[in-house]
Amino acid sequence: MEGAQSRPIPVLSESGVDEVDLTPVRTYWQLVRQRFVRHRLAVIAFFLLSFLVIASIAIPFLTGNAWAKTDLTLINKPPSLIAPFGYDHLGTNTFARLMKGLQTSLFIGLSAVTVIVVIGITVGSIAGFFGGWVDNALMRFVDIVLSIPTFFLIVMLVAFWGTGNVWVIIIAIGLTGWTTAARLVRAEFLSLREADFVQAARALGASDRRIVVRHMIPSALAPVVVAATLGIADSVVVEASLSFLGFGINPPEASLGNMLTGAQDFFYRNPLLAWYPGVTLVLVVLAASFLGDGLRDALDPRQRVEV
């Protein structure tokens, strides 16, 4: 064995390739970026979402507690330079409050999706890779979770563990939402397990873990990425619904959902109070969907890049 290792690899000079240019080549991710950039809507969505994320972090940071401060002298005042969206029924700066609410909603959305993806990939890859009774047991469990009306389960979990707690909401959404991701990963794994290139990787001495991490998860990733970005949209909507019903984030904390609740009482006097969080919600959901679309195309190596 030692001898085999130290033997030099002979080069076929007869093949006419004497000099080998060793400068590094374009990587997978460079190609992904090139393909993503060609998807115009996705690029717009990406910038919009980035803008919303940055604004929702920066503005509450810069304006301190403006999102929570009430001033009875400013109730329902029209827009001005420091309050581009005016003031609400409590005299709070609507723009500042909207940004804080967006921050809460996006945080919940992203965290819940992280939980969903982690649980989904773990369960799905274990089921798909090992197959047999492991697969059967896990997939029947998925069926059970799927058969429960998700939203009511979330409401129940939140009511049980404590309303108004951000982490409870994240865990509740995560624990009920991972089934789709798990099914997608499992389905991909079932077909990948039989793939010739997996067999070839085994024949080259790759370990099970390496095969799963390096060969199977990347191939199964595209649908998961799409599901995850759509999951962000879903989670934001679920959070908004929970807060709207009073099970989620309660005032004085801000979220897009409870801003909508607050606005409904004043819908005829000041309909804009509902429009601001409503439109923001729509923008987040749309941007996340288009982003997912663009990523799906970008992550698919069968798409060619014309350079």
- Contact residues toward other proteins (CB under 8 A) are 1, 4-5, 7, 9-12, 14-15, 17, 20-28, 195-197, 199-207, 210, 214-215, 218-219, 301-302, 304
Task: Please state the closest distance from residue 201 (CB atom) to other proteins, in A.
Answer: 7
Strand-pair partners of 87 = 93
Query: Whose Cβ is closer to other proteins: residue 32's or residue 168's?
Result: 32
CB of 271 to other proteins, least distance (A): 50
Least Cβ distance, residue 151 to other proteins (angstroms): 36
CB of 126 to other proteins, least distance (A): 17
Closer of 12 and 81 to other proteins (Cβ): 12
Cβ nearer to other proteins, comparing 9 with 81: 9
- Contact (Cβ atoms closer than 8 angstroms) between residue 243 and residue 257: yes
Which of 70/303 has CB closer to other proteins?
303
Q: How far is the CB of 12 from other proteins (least distance, A)?
A: 5
Least spacing, CB of residue 178 vs other proteins, in Å: 24
Identify which of residues 5 and 147 has a Cβ nearer to other proteins in the complex: 5
**Beta partners for residue 93, in sequence order:** 87
The minimum distance between CB 34 and other proteins, in angstroms, equals 12
- Cβ proximity to other proteins: between 19 and 269 the closer is 19
Give the integer Cα–Cα distance in Å for 295 and 22: 31
The nearer residue to other proteins, 99 or 222, going by C-beta atoms, is 222
37 near 307, Cβ under 8 Å?
no
Please give the Cα distance from 295 to 42 (Å, whole number): 8
d(CA 178, CA 124) in angstroms, rounded, equals 10
Smallest distance from other proteins to CB 229, Å: 19
Closer to other proteins by Cβ: residue 24 or 81: 24
